[in-house]
Amino acid sequence: MDIYATLFELIDMRSFSNLWYWIALAVLWSTTSHFVLGVPFDLALKAKRHGGERMRDFEDLVRINTRRVLTIAEVSGLLLTALAGAVTSTLAITGFVYDVEFSQAVFFMAFPMLFVAAINIRMAHKIRDREIRGEALVATLRRHRFYVQLIGMCAIFVTAMWGMYQNLVTGPLGG
């Protein structure tokens, strides 16, 4: 059997009918909702439960990641915004105007992440400006995680609806 045929059978370019796409989508949103501002959420729960040194470590990690997010936003924000806009627009045009299913699939993964990035920057500003500490910081990150999960649920729902529509329209043989 030809190696290219085997490879394309494994990496089926019809993304919405491919199990690997749905696994990647689940991993993307699971990881995104677990690492709130780059900090594993289980550390927030442990810090709240045990306090003391764990809370200080948690606060330090949040402070480091908050500063990192804000530095990236301030130094490279304009360039990253332009690049994200160009990539997202290219995916949208090739996906929905030229009907390339792979571009549609990547668009449904990338577009909601723009909203997550925006609320991450907003949350980082809030934490830095208000100097939130202790249990208030845990509560703030819990609320932020809820919004990230809400974006994720909406994104997965819309992706699933579009994917089912695509699978019904194209049929099992892709044509």
Sign of the CA dihedral 76, 130, 47, 30?
negative
Query: What pLDDT score does 3 carry?
Result: 79
pLDDT of 113-169, one tens digit each? 999 999 999 999 999 999 999 999 999 999 999 999 999 999 999 999 999 999 898
Q: Classify burial at 107, counting beta carbons within 10 Å of its beta carbon; exposed 0-12, middle 13-18, buried 19 or more.
A: buried
Q: What is the pLDDT of residue 6?
A: 72
What pTM did the predictor assign? Answer: 0.88
Better pLDDT: 10 or 33: 33
Q: How many Cβ atoms from other residues are within 10 Å of residue 174's Cβ?
A: 11
Instruction: Confirm if 25 and 156 have CB atoms less than 8 A apart.
Output: yes
What is the reported pLDDT for 1?
60
Handedness of CA 20, 23, 29, 31 (dihedral sign): negative
SS3 39: strand
* pLDDT tens-digit readout, 50-93: 989 999 999 999 999 999 999 999 999 999 999 999 999 999 99
What are 2's two structure tokens?
């030809």
Tokens of 10: 């494994």
pLDDT the model gives residue 170:
81
Confidence of residue 10 (pLDDT cuts 50, 70, 90): low
Of the pLDDT bands very low, low, confident and very high (cuts 50, 70, 90), residue 12 is low
41 CB-near residues (< 8 Å, 6+ apart): 33, 34, 35, 141, 145
**32, 116 contact by CB (below 8 A):** yes
